[in-house]
Chains A and B, each alone.
Chain A
Amino acid sequence: MSSTRARYSAVDGAIDPLPDYAPSGGEFDEVIAPDGSVRPHWREFLDGFAALPEAERDRARGMAARLLRENSVTYVAQGDPEHRDRPWQLDLFPLLIEPSEWKAIEAGLIQRADLLNRILGDLYGPQTLLKAGKLPPSLVFGNPQFLNPCHGIAVPQNVHLHLLAFDIARAPDGRWWVLSDRTQAPSGAGYALENRLVASNSLPGLFAASNVQRLASFFARFSEHFLSLSRHDDPLAVLLSPGPGRTTYFEHAYLARYLGYSVVEGSDLTVRDDRLFLKTIDGLKPVDLVMRRVESEYCDPLELRTDSLLGVPGLVQAARTGQVVVANALGSGLVESDAFLSFLPGLCRHLLDEELKMPGVASWWCGQPQERAYVLDNLDRLIVRNVTMPKTILGPGQDRFIGAELSAAEREALRGRIGREGHKFIGQEPVALSTTPVWLDGQGLRPAHMTLRVYVAATADGYKVMPGGLTRVSEASISQAPLLEQSNISKDSWVLSDEPVDTFSLLTAPHNALRLRRGSRDLPSRTADNLFWLGRYAERCEGTVRLLRSLLTRLHGESDLAAHPVALDRLVKLLVAQEHLSQRRARQAVAGGMGAVEAALGRVLFGRDTPDGLVSILGNVRRTANLVRERLSEDTWQILMELVETVEVSGPGDSLNVDEALQLLDRMIRNQAALNGMIMENMTRAYSWRFLDLGRRLERIRHMVRLIRNLAGRGDPEATGSLGLLLELADSTMTYRTRYKAVPRLVAALDLLMADETNPRSVLFQLNAFETHMSELPSDSSEAIISPIQRIATELHATLRLADMEALAGQSRRDKREKLERLTHKLEEGVKELADLIARTYFSHSMPQHVSGPQWVEMPS
């Protein structure tokens, strides 16, 4: 290998952009040619990169990290029993591909997509390939992905594969090879899109100067064609997801939002009259198109896997009658089996009368005697895969054996399995991958092995390739190269253009071919449910934060509360009444005095296992927000994430530093204000906003009446300062002062907090808002009688309007205000009933149950 100095031959005096970069030489390097020179299409980029000052590089990396965190780009590692979200890793240094080379890749993959689609069409149709002996039957009937109920289902325009992916890699001689075909429900396109967004924003100058082909029109053309396949005008498209906690849920929500589809789960859908419907808060809406991210066999428990909880009973029949188009067609996973790899060259000649343009990895399918013998003879150096196991999302299938790493006993066991069920196995040559620079930790650039996942979509003009893709890198040694498929370090892939690029973007363009409006029209019941609870949790969080801040201020400040054990006692009682502290802990805290009370507050604030502590409320905010992510704007999402991360990031453990805690609570209150502002000012008044706000309103009533009962229910709140605290917690101190300019009096305060329609914190204000929402939500208008929801709301409304504040403020027995107590209980009960009724009216999405007969339990006579 020539020296690093010598290989760089740009203009005199330029900085060497790759001072320490030294590819091993045995493999193909994407940047450095064998003679040590920089490949031409990298030169301009590298010059630009070399010219970036250190500070600019730091800024770019920092920005990328921040964007990925703020957008919550995560994935769940395959096989992680806890389904934890892990951060997505992006190496900012992109992969560059020159235009002419990309054209060759495109041609190869378009041909391959076409070929796989035709094979599927034949195998789920006339099966002439089997009859003519072009494919061994075991490849089909021995593969669990051949779903016999799907045989004979006609698909519009003979498109089985709408969106597919290919993992490709470059051999030492520079040629591209296909490692793996992905036809089931390929993932990663959304991550590629996110990578592009982050990379182009973090390295804006380099991106702009590089004339990179844009990705957006690929998705637009895919969706345009997909929507056109519906039998009906103005079609409704959904993205069927297995739900949160699955490997790539982030991407499901991301793509659904990007394409303007609703993200749904199986239980959101139902089949009636052989048509698919979405359960919305406005009743059933016919669904015309399903982009599925659920594997075919799980899509319909009636005709496919009866144990599936992810599907829709009757979906196969709906597809059979042509009422719904499923992408990719049910059963499409069949041809992604690696067993097909060695048959594709022959099938390509047979079906397309062409030579296969891009070769696959050398593979031997053990269902044939000669090939099996070859694999058994070379077991110590080949890689063996069980091709009947489903492929994992980003990695290879399970049951993969690296011959060189097997013990003698393992090799014998494998030999036995191959001998017995050869059709299940293939042997593959280990592949040498090309290398490309990684820059992940900001140190120098180092070579790492890479593969590229490229996406192909059916469009009105046939298959089209996404100009870019998901580059994945691993620094593992070459003997582990196949494991690269499990790597989660990715790069943006820049396909360079020698023409002006199409700068169309779905994310920024306000008008485009897609029908983005439908998101607001059809609100799935489950989404409405989650929005309602997000509203409740966000409001609960705000109430808790305000309460904690006021209590901390009093503990900490110059108020004489600390000196009076009685007052300390009341403070703790409030925590109990608002359900933040258990009775037992409260008694311990009061007995322990000031220090113990501080510790108790600390636990409510930061304790991870305090059931009604701030951390657990924030956890609920995060969880419900995640479930409705596609309904929230990016800005709203980021404010929410800042809010939920405040305590996680800066929570000082169990010891309470009051100054720090107060600062933190102040920050959270400002965050809450920003969130409320976003919701009020930036969300369209669609059903989703109404459910979010309904949740907030009901929770605010509940919080307020409890505060009133606990702070003003007995004794002399004017004298003890409880009334001042109440006004402060209700954020109504200023209103009270401007109105009365006096020391707080109970009657006036009760009026302001309960019955004053102009005070946005009052109970009546919330009830008014509630009734407005209900009048806008769909209801069964054929019912002439008043609905139970209306009845309860009207009754509460009337009770409040007619309430005599003087009487409420009056004490009846001992020091207790029984009328006030009764009213607050009535309001609290009313809120509970309203929430239950809303759930029953709008949120029912139960899962169907299975029956099967007969079962043999008796001995036949």
Chain B
Amino acid sequence: MPVEIIKERYNAPVNTVEIGRPGAKQVKIGGQTGFPFLFDEGKMPNPPVIAYEVPDCTPDDWPEGLLEPYHDCVKDPVKWAKKCADEFGAEILCVKAQSMHQDYGSRPVDEAVRIVREIADAVKLPLIVVGCGDDERDNEFMPKLSQALKGENCLLGLATQANYKTLAATCLVDGHFIIADSPIDVNIAKQVNILIGDMGFDTNKIVMHPTTTSLGYGMEYVYSIMERSRLAAFMGDKMLAMPFIVFVGQETWKVKEAKDFGVVQGINWEITTSVAMLQAGADLIVMRHPDAAGSVKRYIAALTGGVR
């Protein structure tokens, strides 16, 4: 019996973002014209990418099983970054500049900038850099960092509704991409994108962070917000057509169920959250455990292999 196939076709693709120094290694995300991995209906010219998280100082809050693969570099962020690049085959790194935070010893901003610069020189990979979460420190750090990384075309974040101006202005001047953050809310996501655009920042250079939540702890909220947001983008809402980044590693390894039942369950927590986020439309996933990251990369390859 011949079946009438109904294809959902959309005219408005997700923006394409290419992070990294032109001529050097770059990472391209976005550009899809439909929901993920439905290759008969839409195009997905750039498969989603996994970024490896590199803390810029010893991450005391990481459980033992997660730290184990990094045991020889926990005190040396540059070595850590090199390990991700050389041993784990990272295509892009996400440096978390947490050392400036008082919880991690309030490292002077200039020193934090220097460390990221050293990482950039050592690995020659595209970089994502996020601040420590303390607005005051981040607003001091980001302009200096942005300048120090000028030409590297990094992805810097997070710009929030309450604190986006400093970061947007500095990314604009130095040619970086920006992460626009919103609290599981399509309207605020759109609003932050508009606010950043109003500063003269090219909205094609924005990557959205819809908030990340772990498997079992509100993952479904983000899942549905991403689907809703994407539907709007495909229908032509330019202010929601940005690729998505999610920080799966940092959220999953906070969860007791991921930490306290052996490292395999933790790895699987990270894999499962990532898979759900990919099925909801994530373009860039920041992960922690190299085994989890490796498995998710193989999963993406299995989904896209032979189809592209």
Are A and B genuine complex partners? no
A residues at B contact (CB < 8 Å) = none
